[in-house]
Amino acid sequence: MKFTCTQCAHSVSTLDFDAKGGNLRTQAATAINAHATQAHHAPLIISPSDSQQRTWR
């Protein structure tokens, strides 16, 4: 699964992380939120409906 910043072309993939560090999706989501906070001074906001759609894809 790939997470892309909504404000620029930066992205991270679950393949970028090691399962020994915990859930791969959680690690990727944390990394993309850290990028958004550092680069754009605001974490990404995903609406509940979008979040649910991503869960079922």
For the stretch 3-57, pLDDT in tens is 999 899 999 999 999 999 999 999 999 999 999 999 998 877 765 544 444 444 4
Which pLDDT does position 44 carry in this prediction? 73
Is 47 in contact with 55 (CB distance < 8 Å)? no
pTM for this prediction = 0.73
Where in the chain are the domains? 2-56
Please tell me the distance from the alpha carbon of residue 5 to that of residue 44, in angstroms, as a whole number. Answer: 8
Which among 35, 27, 26 is positioned nearest to 4, based on CA atoms? 35
Cα end-to-end span (Å), the chain:
10
